[in-house]
Amino acid sequence: MSSMENTRPLSPEDPQETAETLADTGFGDILRDFETQQTTEADDSPRGLVKGHVLRITPDGVVIDIARKLEGLLPLDLVQGRDGEVLVQLGQTLEVAIAGRTDDGGYYRLSVQKVEAPKDWSGIEQAFESKSAVSGKVLEVVKGGLRVEVAGERAFLPASRSGARDVAEMAKLAGQTIECRITKFDKEKQDIVVDRRVLLEEQSAQRKQEAFAALAEGQVLDGRVRTLTDFGAFVSIGEVDGLLHVSDISWTRIGNPADLLTEGDTVQVKILKINPATRKISLGMKQLQPEPWAQAAEQFSVGQRLSGKVMRLAEFGAFVELLPGIEGLVRLMDLTWDKRVRKPGDVVQVGDVVEVQILDLKIPERKIGLGLKQLVEDPWAAAKAKYPIGSIVEAPVTDLQNFGAFIGLGPGVEGMVHVADITRQKRIDHPKEILKVGDIIKAAVTEFEVDRRRIRLSIKQLEPTSADHFIAENKVGDLVTGRVSDVKEGRAKVQLAEGVTGSCPLPRDKSATETTASSGKVDVSSLSAMLNARWKEGAGADTSNNLVRVGQIRQFRITQMDPQLKRIDVELAD
């Protein structure tokens, strides 16, 4: 208590005392004391909060200078912590409220909200500025994140920065001590925000860096299939991931990694390549197995027959697996003898097991040429005997082109009827004017070229002709009249009727070529037909002894007739 508290007010009833007091105390001091007393007495009732400084701490309470006549006394229970320790220090400034005087009247009785211990923000501030990691205890889950106690202070950890994948995993953090980093610190507002995820990411990156540095090409490790894609699988090998390309999974060609692998599988892989710049790792599984092509030269030979499975089809052929990891190609031209086949799918399908023959073997290039049709008889080998010239075939129309119609004569064998050989009745520009695919027609074989695998057919040749009618109406030995249309190399070409021609040999002796008038019977009907045709020379058989010459009308005897070839041979009548 200050010395001012012992100064009593002047009493007009005690002049002796007043005189003594004035003698000991200056008038100015007495006046100030009086004014202070008047002011203090008027302020005895509570007037809100006032600031004061802690003067001393006693068993009765904390004495505080509040700039009044009397000092204030704050009860100890208002400034004690849970363990009974006093939470204020000498000289500390507190905000208090005047609640009246103590019972003895020596102090103002003060009140205040329970005083908290003075906060030491230095550690938190230093951790915030240095971005160092701090430990914190997760107190509870709150809206948007977690409440964490860091260095005795409460901080907020946002859910997105907690490192938890979902709410359930975040709830499991309650009660745990975690490492985090202070990302926001406002001392005035006592606002602290921390981040756990950033530390987890940094720690993961560090572990990955150390793990990556420890890897080397050629190492064989166990890994776990993390993700499957169309082009391969990402495999975790410790703290890092590598790519297992689909082409490096198996020596056998596979279309999709999911055909052999499942996410979560544990697999043994070999490190094929490490790129330090991009931090990419290429892995392989098939490299841990013997390479099939290494023994191919000993296992295969040209001409060998073996079975295989059709693995895939292309426009140019079919790929057949001979052994796991070894495929051969059957080209389209080697699939079948049938030239009508335009794509491999018309002969084989993926998954078919077929017997093939090795036609070509190129081990260094990893190529094997196979044949399918070579294992069956070439239909053209027997076609020559089956379809001789002049023979008649009855078969379906398989295709129509501008130049003619194709006729199917059996597996792998086709004949062709040129557009000019379809009919005699009229001139046509396209076979579709007469025929359609699927029609069964009859045709005569007119040409056969084995080397070119071509058979020429004719439909119109089977239609009746003037020669057919002539042969039907005459017989060998009959005398007929004809006109010589050509003489060449000892034979005469004789027109026997409209559209009918015969062949006549001439005598070798020049004198023998002179002929006399025939005394035999003259075929008047034939002669009339020729006269009606307005021939240029002669009105009947030449009876003069002249040489055989072009334009002469002579008598001839039929010596031979071939209905198939429509051939007629004659000789000069005697």
Tens digit of each residue's pLDDT (9 = 90 or more) over 124-139: 888 898 888 999 999 9
**Distance from C-alpha of 260 to C-alpha of 48, rounded to nearest angstrom:** 81
**Distance from C-alpha of 419 to C-alpha of 411, rounded to nearest angstrom:** 24
- So what's the pLDDT on residue 158? 93
pTM, rounded to two decimals: 0.45
Alpha helices in 43-135 (DSSP H): 122-130
Q: State mean pLDDT over 148-166.
A: 89
- 46's tokens: 């509570």
In 3D space, the residue among 388, 397, 386 whose CA is nearest the CA of residue 446 turns out to be: 388
CATH code given to domain 3-111: 2.40.50.140
* Residue 197: pLDDT over 80: yes
**Distance from C-alpha of 555 to C-alpha of 496, rounded to nearest angstrom:** 10
**Distance from C-alpha of 41 to C-alpha of 482, rounded to nearest angstrom:** 172
Query: In the CATH hierarchy, which fold is given to the domain comprising 301-375?
Result: OB fold (Dihydrolipoamide Acetyltransferase, E2P) (2.40.50)
Instruction: Tell me the CA end-to-end span of the chain in Å, nearest whole number.
Output: 184
Q: State mean pLDDT over 396-417.
A: 88
Segments of 290-420 assigned E as strands: 305-314, 317-323, 326-331, 353-362, 367-371, 392-401, 404-410, 413-418
Alpha helices in 6-130 (DSSP H): 15-24, 27-42, 122-130
**Distance from C-alpha of 355 to C-alpha of 309, rounded to nearest angstrom:** 9
For residue 365, which amino acid is it? Answer: E
* Per-residue pLDDT tens over the stretch 457-485: 988 888 888 888 899 899 999 999 999 99
Query: In the CATH hierarchy, which fold is given to the domain comprising 466-572?
Result: OB fold (Dihydrolipoamide Acetyltransferase, E2P) (2.40.50)
**Cα–Cα–Cα angle for 63, 64, 67, rounded to 5 degrees:** 140
Asked if the domains 122-201 and 379-462 are classified in one and the same CATH topology, the answer is yes
Q: State mean pLDDT over 311-335.
A: 90
| Mean pLDDT across the chain | 81
- So what's the pLDDT on residue 118? 57
Classify residue 496 by burial, with Cβ atoms within 10 Å: 0-12, 13-18, 19+. buried
Between 153 and 369, name the one with better pLDDT: 369
**Distance from C-alpha of 406 to C-alpha of 415, rounded to nearest angstrom:** 6
**CATH class of the domain comprising 122-201:** mainly beta
**Distance from C-alpha of 74 to C-alpha of 76, rounded to nearest angstrom:** 6
Q: Where are the domains of the chain?
A: 3-111, 122-201, 215-288, 301-375, 379-462, 466-572
**Rg of the chain in Å (alpha carbons):** 62
* 215-288 CATH pick, 3.20.20.10, 2.40.50.140, 3.30.70.580, 3.90.1150.10: 2.40.50.140
CATH code given to domain 379-462: 2.40.50.140
